[in-house]
């Protein structure tokens, strides 16, 4: 274990040569400020002025890690990194406001200035972001402007021992090892994850032992020794800058306090254990060293205490007197432009509460343009060809684009959508990843945070579940979390649907899960023409887009697609067939089943209007409601399970906003609440034109 200062503050190894007297004193002052700030925050919580707080007491040697970095480096933090935040120069308003739970002061926590990410509440899920951010550094020399972090920096991600049990830890370490990213993994092993001791987290002798399996060195360091922590990080940083890839550092430390202020008195450790670790207190150790060198005195200790306390008192006053924000504060930061759906919801809340309606300028709102006809020559393409051509052209026009996923490179994806692109754009832009959905999407989040515009592919939509936390917890939230100071412009491509004669998970329809998550745009085209125009729009979007691609239409359907580049407005439905008697609302491959059903109904004298939603969020309510005013009857159709499927949202909206136009109860067509049967069982689940026509007849009868 690397150690420079022993428990008594004596040198047991040479001091880092670049640390002079002023640097040593500054490091200690930062540690004192951390301890005093920690105590202040705890007192505020005990007074009922903070909802909760996670103490850092005992782990102040983390300051050494922050001091070892350069301003060009980024730090990805979880929540127990108060000393790192302070050492990076962040004002006390930042951490005080965070724990106070008041609206963010973006000047205090200026992520682009301090290069420190915000609180990450889900354990370990931020690790892949640091890897993706580090991967983006190799693009700095080819992207105009300074938005991509340069190759002269590294990315350090800090986490606790409990995070090493999470799948995100494996995904991040594995990707970093394969890609040789300039990443420092700093594990604060404080011996217990909430109440679970390290012996129940791993069967390895040390956490550092895990590193060798990922092709990187694992370093153990005395985490109560700030100088040893400094040196370990400094050496790892130089190793990364030299092109030798990532390093895992196990910082063996101890938190003197419970997991959090709601944890109570720890019952999972004894007094003898606590006493032994308190004898290794990093502040006591560092102060003893400075005093032995004549660099610190009692007077200076008292002076810094008074200085920090005065600053914290002033900070509390400022933070507690921040102006109260309105109900519109939070939704304003969800998308670049606010969808009409959210504005209507907000106004309905304000009306119900008797509050004045929030006001929005035209520039605040997501105004969905009318779709224009694309003139000129066309070529007949299937869905894979249309998508491939769109991707190819976009990559030629925008050097920030990168696509990543399993088999997307050499093989061109299992459906050949990216075929030939690796030969054109290179292996670093058409990136074959390890088999890890969490790694694919998690690293893409970091790439997007760094200024790239990644397009992640999941081989089948049914394989998306392992990365659900990354999508809902980060992809959807980055803009909202950073109040638009940082965004996540990325596309996730998801092949979806049935009639492919395959096995379980290969034909799942999980789209409704993601429509329910705030911050995501969800697109689901039904053919080559729409897919090309919508994918082009998704790539241009400054917000994250989930792009579902019907597998059974990849090769089985061709359409005339304009030769020129074009986009289709996201959020605009298409009336594929006009009718007067019943409205069929659908999307994806079910559009063509509804077309066939409409033909069956036409033979019976029933006139059907078929609406292809194309976008599920934000969806085109106006087109559907206008149709209901005309027909008075509604049938929704989708492949997904019936309960809480997207058809339920359409039906609820129609009943809420157009009930008096309905002449009969609406009818839903979907898969029964069961898993799609594999291969020979699949026909039992298929939604046929005859079944849709039967549902329409029920709607006609009322």
Type and span of the H or E element at 314:
helix 298-320
> Is residue 369 assigned to a domain?
no
In this model, does residue 576 exceed pLDDT 70? yes
pLDDT tops 80 at residue 685 = no
Q: Does residue 193 form part of some domain?
A: yes
pLDDT tier at 587 (50, 70, 90 boundaries)? very high
Total tally of structural domains belonging to the chain: 4
**Do 158 and 250 share a domain, yes or no?**
yes
**682: pLDDT strictly greater than 80:** no
CA gap 395, 413 in Å, rounded = 17
pLDDT digits (tens, 9 = 90+) for 418-468: 999 999 999 999 999 999 999 999 999 999 999 999 999 999 888 999 999
Q: Report yes or no: 163 and 124 within 8 Å, Cβ to Cβ.
A: yes
**Does 272 lie in the same domain as 229?**
yes
DSSP class of residue 410 equals: S
Has residue 326 been placed in a domain? no
Read off the DSSP letter of residue 365. B
pLDDT of residue 630: 97
When pLDDT is averaged across residues 175-202 and rounded to a whole number, the result is 90
Is residue 165 assigned to a domain? yes
Residue 375 clears pLDDT 70, i.e. is over it: yes
Nearest of 178, 131, 125 to residue 475 by alpha carbon: 125
| 108, pLDDT greater than 90 | no
Q: For position 530, what pLDDT does the model report?
A: 97
Rounded Cα distance between 525 and 258, Å, is: 51
Q: In this structure, how many other beta carbons lie within 10 angstroms of the beta carbon of residue 672?
A: 9
Residue 702: per-residue pLDDT? 78
Give the whole-number percent of the chain exceeding pLDDT 90.
77
Domain harbouring 673, CATH code: 3.40.50.920
Residues annotated as part of the active site: 506
Judgement on whether residues 515 and 582 belong to the same structural domain of the protein: no
- Give residue 97's pLDDT: 87
d(CA 290, CA 287) in angstroms, rounded, equals 5
Of the three residues 501, 529, 562, the one that is the final residue of a domain is 562
Same-domain check for residues 136 and 259? yes
Q: Is residue 372 part of a domain?
A: no
Identify whether residues 47 and 188 lie together within a single domain.
Answer: yes
**Least confident window among 26-40, 55-69, 664-678:** 664-678
pLDDT band at 100 (very low <50, low <70, confident <90, very high): confident
Give the pLDDT of residue 223: 96
Is the per-residue pLDDT at 270 higher than 90?
Answer: no
User: How is residue 689 written in tokens?
Assistant: 């034109």
* pLDDT at residue number 205: 87
Per-residue pLDDT at 469 exceeds 70: yes
The verdict on residue 16 lying in a domain is no
Q: 638 pLDDT exceeds 90?
A: yes
With tokens 């129940």, the residue in question is 200
pLDDT of the residue at 549: 96
Give the pLDDT of residue 683.
77
Q: What is the pLDDT of residue 29?
A: 95
The predicted model gives 309-321 an average pLDDT of: 90
pLDDT in tens, 12-49: 999 999 999 999 999 999 999 999 999 999 998 899 88
Whether 402 and 352 map to the same domain: the answer is: no
Residue 116 domain-assigned (yes or no): yes
Edge-to-edge strands, sheet with 634-641: 574-577, 608-612, 582-586, 634-641, 667-671
CA terminus-to-terminus distance, the chain: 77
**pLDDT computed for residue 267 by the predictor:** 78
DSSP 16-57: PTT--HHHHHHHHHHHHHHHHHHHHHHHHHHTTSSS-----T
Which pair of tokens denotes residue 36? Answer: 């005093």
Across-strand partners of 379? 561
Q: Model confidence over 72-91: pLDDT tens digits?
A: 999 999 999 999 999 999 99
Q: Is the pLDDT of residue 5 over 70?
A: yes
Burial class (CB in 10 A: 0-12, 13-18, 19+), 319: buried
Q: What is the CATH number for 431?
A: 3.40.50.970
Q: Give the per-residue pLDDT at 500.
A: 66
Q: What is the chain's mean pLDDT, rounded?
A: 93
Same domain, 299 and 342: no
Query: DSSP label at 116?
Result: B
Average pLDDT over residues 302-324: 90
Instruction: Give me the pLDDT at residue 645, please.
Output: 96
Q: What is the pLDDT of residue 681?
A: 73
Taking only the tens place, the pLDDT of each residue in 475-499 is: 999 999 998 899 999 999 999 987 6
pTM: 0.95
Q: Residue 323 pLDDT > 80, yes or no?
A: yes
The confidence score (pLDDT) of residue 104 equals 67
Determine the pLDDT at residue 659: 94
**81, 300 contact by CB (below 8 A):** no
Say if residue 496 is in the same domain as residue 542.
Answer: yes
Same domain, 556 and 584: no
More confident residue, 544 or 163: 544
Q: Of 299, 320, 341, which one is at a domain's C-terminal end?
A: 320
User: Per-residue confidence at 105, pLDDT binned at 50, 70, 90?
Assistant: low
Q: Does residue 460 sit in the same domain as residue 400?
A: yes
CB 452 within 8 A of CB 139: yes
Distance CA 308, CA 314 (A): 10
Residue 228 within a domain: yes
Residue 63, pLDDT score = 97
pLDDT of residue 499: 64
263 vs 675, which has greater pLDDT?
675
Query: Same structural domain for residues 257 and 353?
Result: no
Highest mean pLDDT among 209-223, 269-283, 502-516: 209-223
User: Which pLDDT band holds residue 674 (cuts at 50, 70, 90)?
Assistant: confident
- Residue 638 belongs to domain spanning: 574-701
- Both 520 and 662 in one domain: the answer is no
**Segment 509-523 mean pLDDT:** 96
Last residue of a domain, one of 562, 585, 602: 562
CB atoms within 10 A of CB 644: 15
Backbone Cα Rg of the chain: 29
Of the listed ranges 96-110, 228-242, 387-401, the one predicted with least confidence: 96-110
């Amino acid at each position: 274990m690397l150690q420079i200062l022993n428990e008594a503050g004596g040198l047991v190894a040479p001091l880092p040569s670049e640390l002079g007297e002023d640097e040593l004193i500054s490091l200690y002052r930062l540690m004192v400020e951390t301890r005093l700030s920690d105590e202040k925050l705890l007192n505020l919580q005990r007074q009922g002025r903070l909802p909760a707080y996670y103490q850092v007491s005992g782990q102040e040697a983390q300051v050494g890690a922050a001091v070892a970095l350069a301003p060009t480096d980024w730090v990805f933090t979880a929540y127990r990194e108060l000393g790192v935040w302070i050492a990076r120069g962040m004002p006390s308003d930042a951490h005080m406001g965070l724990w106070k739970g008041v609206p963010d002061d973006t000047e205090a926590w200026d992520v682009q200035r301090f290069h420190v990410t915000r609180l990450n509440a889900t354990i370990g899920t931020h690790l892949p972001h640091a890897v993706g951010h580090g991967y983006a550094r190799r693009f700095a020399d080819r992207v105009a402007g300074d938005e991509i972090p340069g190759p002269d920096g590294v990315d350090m991600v800090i986490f606790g021992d409990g995070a090493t049990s999470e799948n995100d830890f494996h995904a991040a370490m594995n990707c970093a090892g394969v890609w040789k990213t300039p990443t420092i993994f700093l594990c604060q092993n404080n011996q217990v994850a909430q109440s679970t001791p390290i012996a129940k987290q791993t069967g390895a002798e040390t956490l550092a032992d895990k590193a060798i399996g990922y092709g990187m060195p694992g370093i153990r360091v005395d985490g109560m020794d700030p100088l040893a922590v400094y040196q370990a990080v400094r050496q790892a940083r130089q190793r990364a800058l030299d092109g030798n890839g990532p390093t895992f550092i196990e910082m063996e430390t101890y938190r003197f306090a419970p997991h959090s202020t709601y944890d109570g008195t720890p019952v999972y450790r004894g007094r003898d254990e606590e006493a032994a670790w308190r004898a290794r207190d990093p502040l006591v150790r560092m102060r003893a060293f400075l005093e032995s060198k004549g660099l610190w005195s009692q007077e200076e200790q008292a002076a810094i205490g008074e200085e920090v306390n005065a600053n914290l008192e002033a900070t509390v006053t400022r933070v507690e007197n921040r102006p109260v924000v309105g109900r519109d504060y939070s939704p304003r930061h969800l998308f670049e432009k606010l969808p009409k759906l959210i504005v209507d919801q907000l106004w309905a809340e304000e009306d119900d509460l008797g509050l004045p309606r929030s006001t929005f300028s035209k520039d605040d709102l997501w105004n969905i343009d009318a779709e224009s006809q694309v003139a000129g020559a066309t070529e007949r393409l299937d869905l894979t060809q249309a998508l491939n051509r769109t991707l190819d052209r976009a990559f030629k026009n925008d050097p920030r684009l990168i696509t990543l996923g399993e088999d997307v490179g050499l093989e061109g994806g299992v459906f050949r959508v990216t075929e030939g692109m690796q030969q054109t754009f290179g292996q670093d832009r058409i990136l074959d990843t390890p088999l890890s959905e969490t790694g694919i999407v998690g690293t893409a989040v970091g790439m997007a945070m760094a200024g790239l515009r990644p397009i992640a592919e999941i081989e089948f939509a049914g394989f998306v579940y392992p990365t659900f936390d990354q999508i809902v917890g980060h992809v959807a939230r980055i803009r909202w979390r950073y109040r638009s100071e940082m965004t996540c412009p990325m596309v996730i491509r998801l092949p979806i649907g049935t009639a492919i004669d395959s096995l379980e998970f290969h034909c799942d329809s999980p789209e409704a899960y993601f429509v329910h998550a705030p911050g995501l745009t969800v697109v689901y085209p039904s053919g080559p023409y729409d897919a090309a125009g919508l994918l082009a729009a998704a790539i241009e979007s400054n917000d994250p887009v989930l792009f579902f691609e019907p597998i059974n239409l990849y090769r089985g359907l061709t359409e005339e697609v304009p030769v020129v580049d074009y986009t289709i407005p996201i959020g605009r439905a298409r009336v594929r067939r006009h009718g007067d008697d019943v409205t069929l609302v659908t999307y994806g491959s079910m559009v063509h089943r509804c077309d066939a059903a409409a033909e069956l109904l036409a033979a019976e004298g029933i006139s059907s209007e078929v609406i292809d939603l194309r976008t599920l969020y934000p969806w085109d309510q106006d087109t559907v409601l206008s149709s209901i005013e005309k027909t008075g009857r509604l049938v929704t159709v989708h492949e997904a399970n019936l309960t809480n499927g997207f058809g339920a949202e359409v039906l609820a909206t129609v009943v809420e906003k157009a009930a008096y136009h309905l002449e009969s109860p609406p009818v839903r067509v979907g898969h029964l609440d069961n898993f799609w049967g594999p291969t020979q069982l699949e026909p039992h689940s298929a939604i046929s034109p005859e079944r849709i026509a039967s549902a329409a007849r029920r709607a006609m009868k009322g």
